[in-house]
Amino acid sequence: MNEVKNESNETDEEVKNESNETDEEVKNESNETDEEVKNESNETDEVKTLDIDTEIDSLPGLGPVAKKKLNEVGIFTVLDLAVRSPTEIADRLGSDLSRATEFANKARIKLVKMGILEKDFVPASEIYKRRQAIERISTGANSLDDLLGGGIETQAVTEFYGEFGSGKTQVCHTACIMVQLPKEKGGLDAGAVYVDTENTFRPERIVSIAKARGLDHDSILERIIVAKAYNSSHQELIVGELGRVLDDKNIKLVIIDSAVAHYRSEFLGRGTLAPRQQKLNKFMHLLTRTSEARNLAVIITNQVQSTPDTFFGDPNKPTGGHVVGHTSTYRLYLRKAGKNRIAKMVDSPYHPEQEAAFQLNELGVSDLPDDAPSKRRKL
Ligand code: GTP
Ligand code: MG
């Protein structure tokens, strides 16, 4: 116990020293910057009022200049800071990694104290309790919900991969509507953010699915925030800046359709594989951390590539390699079966490998008609 106390004193000392240092730095940087900071913070206040306790400058040692730099990349609150990687924070601040890591750790500790993040060491019973509290969003088809253990989970990244026309974008459109339903109807009474990287988001499709489901399409459209991402860096920026939108609105679902496409088209040739994977890895981890820290569901879509050296089984493999495979919590492989679609659960930590059949129709994603052959089977 004493040890802990000593240690915390020591840290406080360090913090004090550091904050003095930062203040010095700030003073040296021209008054103009101070002015800018002032103006900008007024502007921010107009957009939305942040909880003072959770603003980044509530962290000891983080002065106005650092605050401004971080604000520019969408880091406003302690939670925004905690979900970014220390390398990114260091890049932004132009500081060394250890200083950035310290800020990230301070942010994390603060959130643990506030009960927003988990402690580092927790009994399994606590994790079990937290997992029990996970919420689920219906996909629109009972068969697919069953396959997912009740629907698309919050605090997780669910990946749908499959060839063109297999229904990935339709799953995303339907989920944007389903999340808005009340809990007893399979939703979370919340909105969605749709990050559209392939220009395939269609509000008309939302309207027609909403109408077919007897819902008020105007209010449904109102609660879907769409962001078009023009390249991989833009896509990363959008997800990095999500914090602001998420705080303002009650958002429980974030969709990235598709997560990998930009990386594939921008990084061509074998020589670029390493930097591509590194960038993709950073992006995927940002998604995972966001889903956990903010208790929301993330859906990503992914294409397939054919591996001609496969002699047995399906030659279609998801793109993105191990990076995407390891960071997605659940992976579902969608394939066409005539007019219907089959989803297969691949690589889940606890679901058995099963398949479910569903349809794409005016309801978006829906169950097969009652007379259809077996909807779900164990492999
Ligand atoms: P890529 O993005 O090209 O890789 O494909 P995807 O997997 O995203 O396919 P998407 O979800 O766009 O599925 C396209 C399929 O959905 C079409 O082939 C149709 O079968 C179905 N579909 C799309 N729009 C409608 C619609 O308005 N009504 C009906 N009944 N089906 C639709
Ligand atoms: Mg698509």
Over residues 13-34, the pLDDT tens digits come to: 443 443 443 433 333 333 433 3
Q: Given this model, what pLDDT does residue 331 score?
A: 94
**Going by C-beta distance under 8 Å and a sequence separation of 6 or more, which residues neighbour residue 96?**
90
**Block mean pLDDT (10 aa), the chain, length 379:** 41 40 38 38 36 75 90 87 87 89 89 77 82 91 95 96 96 98 97 97 98 97 96 92 84 96 87 86 92 92 82 79 85 94 83 87 94 49
Q: Given this model, what pLDDT does residue 131 score?
A: 80
Q: Given this model, what pLDDT does residue 376 score?
A: 47
Distance, CA 235 to ligand 1 centroid (Å)? Answer: 23
Nearest CA to ligand 1 atom 15: 165
CA distance 84 to 97: 13
Atom of ligand 1 at shortest distance to CA of 173?
Answer: 11
DSSP string for 268-294 = -SGGGHHHHHHHHHHHHHHHHHHHHHT
**Going by C-beta distance under 8 Å and a sequence separation of 6 or more, which residues neighbour residue 188?**
135, 137, 154, 179, 252, 253
Q: Given this model, what pLDDT does residue 351 score?
A: 66
Distance, CA 140 to ligand 2 centroid (Å)? Answer: 17
CA distance 167 to 156: 21
| Fold classified for 135-378 | Rossmann fold (3.40.50)
Distance, CA 288 to ligand 2 centroid (Å)? Answer: 22
Q: Domain extents for the chain?
A: 56-113, 135-378
Q: Which of 164, 170, 205 to mutate to test the pocket of ligand 1 (most atoms within 8 A of CB)?
A: 170
Query: pTM for this structure?
Result: 0.77
Ligand 1 close to Cβ of residue 167 (< 6 A) = yes
Ligand 1 close to Cβ of residue 170 (< 6 A) = yes
Q: Given this model, what pLDDT does residue 9 score?
A: 42
Report the top-level CATH class of 56-113.
Answer: mainly alpha
Cβ atoms < 10 Å from Cβ of 358: 27
Tell me the ligand closest to 341's alpha carbon: 1
Q: Given this model, what pLDDT does residue 19 score?
A: 40
Atom of ligand 1 at shortest distance to CA of 205?
Answer: 27
Nearest CA to ligand 1 atom 25: 361
